[in-house]
Structure 1
Amino acid sequence: MITVTILGAGNVATHLYKAFSAAKTVKVVQWYNRDIRKLAMFQNDVETTDDLSQLKPADIYIIAVSDDAISELSEQLPFEDRFVAHTSGSVSVYDLDKKNRRGVFYPLQTFSKDVPLAIETVPICIETIGKKDTPLLKALGKSIGCKTHKVNSDQRRALHLAAVFVNNFSNQLYRVAHEITEAEGVEFDILKPLILETANKVQLISPYLAQTGPAKRNDKKTIKKHLKLLENEQHQAIYKLMTSAIKKTQGVDMRPVKNSKK
C-alpha cells in the first residue's frame, strides 16, 4: 500500500485525489490546503487539514499547487528526508527544497474539476533526483492505471511547451471560431465533428501529413475572401499568422497575402 498526502486543492489535486481514492493499492492519508473550506466536500472521506505542522508520515507528499507556490510550500514543510514531488510541467525538480528527497509526478493532461476524466488515459511524466525513488513513482502511476514515462527536466519542459500549443492555443482558436459562428447566428456545435476528426487523424498520421485547407493549397482567392469576412482585427492577425506558418511548413509560395478589406 502506497500512502499519499496531497497538498493543494486545485484541478490537478482534485482529480488525483479521486484517482488515488479509487485505487486498491493507494491510501490518501491526508489532504492539505491553506484554505480548508475548499476541501469541505471531501472532509467525510479523507482527513483534511490547513496546518502543515499536523502533516502525518506518508510515502510521498504530492504538491499540486500553482507553479509560483511550489518552492515556497516545499520550504514550509516541517520535516526532512521524506519524498516530495510536484505535478508541474515547467517547474524544475530542483525548485523543491533540498531538505527532502525530490521528484516530479506530472500528469500531462488538461484538468477541470467538474469535467469527468478517464485517468487511465493520462500519461504520467516522472523525474527524480537519484534512482531509488523512481520505482515508487512508477508504482504510483501504475496503481491508477496510467503509463509512466521517465523524462529529464529538458524533455518535460519541452512537453509542457508543446502541450500549450496543442491544448491552450488550440482552445483559443476554438473560441475564435465560436465568436465567428455566433456573430452569424449559426451553431458552433456543427463544427464539433470536424474538431474530433482532426484530433483523431493525428492519432494515425503526422500533423504534417494531416494538414489540409486553403493555405496548404495556396488558394489565394479563398484566403482573401476569409480576410475580408473577418471584422475583428485580432482574428485577422491570427488568420494571417497561421496561414503564413502553414505555407512555410508546407513549402508553399510565401509571398504575402494582402488584406482586400478596405
Structure 2
Amino acid sequence: MISVVILGAGNVATHLFHAFYKAENVFVNQWFNRNLKSIDFYKNMVNVTSDLSSLKPADVYIIAVSDDAISKLSSQLPFENQLVVHTSGSVGLYDLDKKNRRGVFYPLQTFSKETSINFKNVPICIETADKKDFKSLKLLAEAIESASFKVNSDQRSSLHLAAVFVNNFTNQLYRIAHEITESTGTEFDILKPLILETANKIQNLSPYSAQTGPAKRNDKKTIKKHLKKLENSPHKAIYEILTASIQKTHGRKKL
C-alpha cells in the first residue's frame, strides 16, 4: 500500500485524487489546499486541511499546483528527507526544495474537472533524483493502471511543448472551425467524425504520411478561395502560416 498526500485542488489534483481513491494499493492519507472550500466536498472521503504544519506522514507528497507556486510550496513543507514530487510538464526537477527527495509525476493528458479520465489512457512521465524513488513512483503509476515512462527534465519539457501543439493549439483550431461553421449556420457536429478519424489515423501512420488537403496537393485555386472567404484577419494569418508550413514539409512551392 502506497500512502500519498495531495497538495493543491486544481484539475490535475482532483483527477489524481479520484484515481488514487479508487486504486486498491493507494491510500490518500490527506488532501491539502490553502482554500478549504475547494476540497470541502471531499471531507467525508479524505482528511482535508489548509494547515501545512498539520500534514500527515506519507510515502509520497504530490504537489499539484500552478507552475509558479511549486517552488515556494515545496520550500514551505515542514519536514525533510521525504519524497516530494510535482506534476508539471515544464517545471524542472530541481525547482523543488532540496531539503526533500525530489521527483516528478507528470500525467501527460488534458484535464477538465467536468470530464472523467481513465488513467489507463494517461501516460505518466517520471523523473527522480534517486533511483529508489523512481521505483516507488513507477509502482504508484501501476496502481492506477497508467503506463509510465522515465524522462529527464529536458525530455519532459519537449513533451510539454509538443503537447501544446497537439492539444491546446489544435483545440484553438477547433474553435476557429466552430466560428466558421457558425457564420453560415452550419452544424459543427458534422465535422466531429473527421476530427476522430484524423486522430485515429496517426495511431498507424506518421503525421507526415497522414497529411492530406489542398496545401499538400499544392491546390492553389482552392487555397485562394479559402483565403478570400476568411474575413477574420487572425484566422487568415493562421491559415497562411499553416499552409506555408505544410508546403515546406512536403516540398511544395508557396503561392
| TM-score band, normalised by shorter chain | over 0.9
Q: Does 1:11 align with 2:11?
A: yes
Corresponding residue of 1:174: 174
Corresponding residue of 2:195: 195
The one-character-per-residue Cα deviations of 1:71-105 (angstroms, maximum 9, x if unpaired) are: 00001101101000000000001000000000000
Corresponding residue of 1:224: 224
User: In 2, distance between residues paired with 1:95 and 1:13?
Assistant: 19
Corresponding residue of 2:100: 100
The one-character-per-residue Cα deviations of 1:108-147 (angstroms, maximum 9, x if unpaired) are: 0000011011111100000000212111000000000001
State how 1:104-253 maps to structure 2 within 5 Å.
104-253=104-253
Letter in 1 for 2:44: N
Taking only the aligned residue pairs, the percentage that are identical comes to 68
User: In 1, distance between residues paired with 2:106 and 2:143?
Assistant: 15
Corresponding residue of 1:90: 90
DSSP-derived class of the 1:132 partner: helix
User: In 2, distance between residues paired with 1:150 and 1:111?
Assistant: 22
Corresponding residue of 2:2: 2
The one-character-per-residue Cα deviations of 1:179-230 (angstroms, maximum 9, x if unpaired) are: 0001110111000000000000000100000000000000000000000000
Letter in 2 for 1:185: G
User: In 2, distance between residues paired with 1:130 and 1:79?
Assistant: 18
State how 1:15-54 maps to structure 2 within 5 Å.
15-54=15-54
The alpha-carbon deviation at position 40 of structure 1 amounts to 1.3
User: In 2, distance between residues paired with 1:42 and 1:250?
Assistant: 52
Corresponding residue of 1:76: 76
User: In 1, distance between residues paired with 2:240 and 2:253?
Assistant: 14
Corresponding residue of 2:58: 58
Runs of 4+ residues over 4 Å off in structure 1: none
Letter in 2 for 1:250: H
Corresponding residue of 1:260: none
What is the alpha-carbon root mean square deviation over aligned residues?
Answer: 0.5
User: In 2, distance between residues paired with 1:168 and 1:239?
Assistant: 17
Letter in 1 for 2:13: A
DSSP-derived class of the 2:127 partner: strand
The one-character-per-residue Cα deviations of 1:16-47 (angstroms, maximum 9, x if unpaired) are: 00000000000000000000100011111000
User: In 1, distance between residues paired with 2:152 and 2:159?
Assistant: 11
Letter in 1 for 2:93: V
The alpha-carbon deviation at position 51 of structure 1 amounts to 0.3
Unaligned runs of 5+ in 1: 258-262
